[in-house]
Structure 1
Amino acid sequence: MNERVLSPRNRGFLFLDSHPAGCERLVADMWQACPESAESAEPAEPAGAPEGAGPVALIIGSSAGYGLAATVAGLKRAGIRGIAVSFEKAPTARRTATAGWYRTAATADLARSAGRDLVFLNGDAFSDTMKNQVADLLKQRFGGRLDYLIYSVAAPRRTDPDTGAAYASVLKPIGSANRTKTLVFDDEGAPEVREVETGPAEGDDVEQTVAVMGGADWARWIDHLAGRGLLGEGFATAALSYIGSPLTAAIYRQGTIGEAKTHLEDTARTLNERLGKTVGGRAVTSVNGAAVTQSSTAIPGIALYTGLLRAVLGQRMMPPVHQLAALWDQLAGATPLALDDEGRVRLDAWELSDEVQTAVAARWEAATTDTIAGLADLDWFHGEVRRLYGFSVPGVDYTAPVATDIPWPGPTL
């Protein structure tokens, strides 16, 4: 078994290796942080489910960020079984596996310990090959019924299975260039506040981004599973989304990615109407709060904003697993489904209150390289970025050799 001492090597917010023991401990800590069940009531068993069996769920994008939180919270909070899909890279002679590979192995261990039958598939969620494999597994292993589908996919590219057309998403403002502050760290970890300019969307940038990050693939999953007769009575599905602060709106909610999120929400309304008629089910988008994720660190301004937000909120900043526990409670009927006027589940009220946003905006305005240490929680943010890759996790001995060739806990496609 290949063992070696791993040290963090990175280019900006991108790390070249991941630490298996750190990733394992991170998942275990997430499990411990997730409460057992809602105080008000236990989630109801889906109609027609075998007595004593948990609901059958499909988590698409299960290895990172909010998708990982949905998987862990689903196991502990809702007692799910079923299938988790992600797309991760295996270890090689030169590189460790991706962090999501190791997090998936750790999640599989937790599922087994909890007595939950959760199958982990590694492959392209956009492909019909993966959709067929999932459908076959649902039929053969889980009684041919699906109760929940959580969709949490953030990807740079997508190939349309019908046409073979390849699409690429971009992070650009619409109409004019956007100049914003952003936070970077040098090789020694010293923070710097810079101004960066992002040019506006051109040509078919908006259409390409919507094709990747909008609701097309989510709807295709529902169509595919419905066509195989796999949606249980009362089936519920949620796509995870984000709105964010006015400080980041030009590059995010009002930019190309915002158009994709709008398409995702429009898709939810269409699916909700159809599922209500066919299986008495429903579809929603879940608007989550800010978090440090591998996807969010790529967005200009988000690193600075998140560090400032943490300084304002401290421990009141709600971690993803707590938010997803609340979502599972609503989907499973343990607590009422609370929707805004657009039909979205809102789990971001703690972030977007006027009081919090006013405080963050004042710090944003004052933020420079000289002042940032006193305005943002830099130690927390820098640690969160490293923890995405399994480093800086409390309780892990980083001087000890660690096995890197951890096997995937199930089929690879």
Structure 2
Amino acid sequence: MSERVIAPKNRGFLFLDSHPGGCEQLVEEMWRAVPAQAPAGGEGPVALIIGSSAGYGLAATIAGLARVGIRGIGVCFEKAPARRTGTAGWYRTAATARLAQQHGRDMVFLNGDAFSDTMKEQVAGLLADRFGGRLDYLIYSVAAPRRTDPDTGNVYASVLKPVGSPHTTKTLVFDEHGVPEVKKVTTAPAEGDDIEQTVAVMGGADWERWITFLADRSLLADGFTTAALSYIGSPLTAAIYRQGTIGAAKAHLEATARTLDERLGKTVGGRAVTSVNAAAVTQSSTAIPGIALYVGLLRGVLGDAMVAPIGQLVQLWDQLTDARPLVLDDEGRLRLDTWELDSAAQQAVADRWSTATSDTISDLADLDWFSGEVRRLYGFSVPGIDYTTAVETDVAWPTPTA
């Protein structure tokens, strides 16, 4: 037993500990937010969620379990409790596994490097031995700083940089007392092989490797469908995101989708798409210059009209399972971001962006919502949780039942 009081300690948007009780309750709230849930038990479709513990990958896992009744495997990379608490994703995975079991869903969670062939072998073995040797769906949602190529052993590192010239943008920070500040930051442009390195990590290479690995072992079911989760975003953030090194990786991901779609259509009557999701506060997005300011202003404009990740992923599953028509744009992308990129909303955000300063930001952005969302990523600021009470931090990784 290792019960203790967990107080939030952070450096900017990064928190040093996570709260198990808060993480668990957030997962339960996401599950309850899924409408028209599938009946408990049953032999639902077999799905593999790569990046299942955080952000859109977590939403994909919970929406798939609750809405569609999937069974299958979630893959993520989280740290166990030790001197510090476990990562928030560790506790969220434990909570997701408990809910899956309560609802009769056979869901196995694996903790390790999704880029490695060792993990691919482990997943392939489980699909063959536990899930009838077939996979119906694969959702790919990986945001990582680096990747080791299994063939060469080369380690690639992704960077957040503009392409061509330095880029100066406004960004939102909070000082040590929690006071918001709007600052200007300048990011140096990509140099050397920065673009190639970022594409090697965040592009479509590993997604395609997963499909090839499983196809070579005859594990893809007839009609197999796969989706990689992506983002385009606003013109306000385009220079550092869509037109930057990460944007080059996203373009590679989309090109990979078109290649895979043609290949899967010929081999198993399947399909591959990228799903362009809309803005949200995630552990990955808060690291991108300007994104925090943009999302806070977007919330200030739209309020509750913003669609949370769990709502977006319900829409994704509905389209992937043909519960509603699959609607793609001219590039073959499934778009869940139309509400964000609505011209009136974008103009309103742009107007606020232009006048945003440290003095005006509290009137322009929903800072209470934004800072609360950041804290909730780590299980803090969750209604109903008593943060003065000791909580068990030594939570075991979920072990699948027989």
Give me the TM-score of the superposition, normalised by structure 1: 0.96
Please tell me whether residue 10 in structure 1 is matched to residue 10 in structure 2: yes
Partner of 1:349, secondary structure, is coil
Name the residue aligned to 2:329: 340
Name the residue aligned to 2:379: 390
C-alpha contact 2:328 2:335 (8 A) present in aligned 1: yes
1:158 pairs with one of 147, 156, 169: 147
Equivalent AA in structure 2 for residue 85 of structure 1: V
State, as a whole percentage, how many aligned pairs show the same letter: 77
How far apart, CA to CA, are the structure 2 residues paired with 1:305 and 1:391? 23
Count, aligned residues: 399
Partner of 2:340, secondary structure, is helix
How far apart, CA to CA, are the structure 2 residues paired with 1:249 and 1:301? 10
How far apart, CA to CA, are the structure 2 residues paired with 1:267 and 1:54? 28
How far does residue 75 in structure 1 lie from its aligned partner after superposition? Answer: 0.3
Q: Deviations over 1:357-385 (max 9, x none)?
A: 00000000010000000000000000000
C-alpha contact 1:121 1:410 (8 A) present in aligned 2: no
Name the residue aligned to 2:25: 25
Q: Deviations over 1:333-375 (max 9, x none)?
A: 1000000000000000000010000000000001000000000
Partner of 1:181, secondary structure, is strand
Name the residue aligned to 1:137: 126
How far apart, CA to CA, are the structure 2 residues paired with 1:386 and 1:36? 29
Name the residue aligned to 1:198: 187
How far does residue 187 in structure 1 lie from its aligned partner after superposition? Answer: 1.3
How far apart, CA to CA, are the structure 1 residues paired with 2:35 and 2:344? 28
How far apart, CA to CA, are the structure 2 residues paired with 1:241 and 1:168? 19
Please tell me whether residue 91 in structure 1 is matched to residue 81 in structure 2: yes
Name the residue aligned to 1:216: 205
Q: How does 1:9-408 map to 2 (within 5 A)?
A: 9-36=9-36, 52-92=42-82, 94-408=83-397
Equivalent AA in structure 1 for residue 44 of structure 2: G
How far apart, CA to CA, are the structure 2 residues paired with 1:272 and 1:410? 34
Partner of 1:53, secondary structure, is coil
* Structure 1 spans left out of the alignment, 5+ residues: 44-50
Equivalent AA in structure 2 for residue 26 of structure 1: L
* Structure 2 spans left out of the alignment, 5+ residues: none
C-alpha contact 1:111 1:118 (8 A) present in aligned 2: yes
CA RMSD of aligned residues (A): 1.1
How far apart, CA to CA, are the structure 1 residues paired with 2:187 and 2:34? 38
How far apart, CA to CA, are the structure 2 residues paired with 1:29 and 1:395? 12
C-alpha contact 2:79 2:87 (8 A) present in aligned 1: yes
How far apart, CA to CA, are the structure 1 residues paired with 2:175 and 2:391? 28
How far does residue 410 in structure 1 lie from its aligned partner after superposition? Answer: 3.1
How far does residue 33 in structure 1 lie from its aligned partner after superposition? Answer: 1.1
How far apart, CA to CA, are the structure 2 residues paired with 1:78 and 1:177? 46
Partner of 2:339, secondary structure, is helix
C-alpha contact 2:160 2:245 (8 A) present in aligned 1: yes
Structure 1 residue ranges, 4+ long, deviating more than 6 angstroms after superposition: none
How far does residue 195 in structure 1 lie from its aligned partner after superposition? Answer: 0.1
How far apart, CA to CA, are the structure 1 residues paired with 2:399 and 2:80? 13
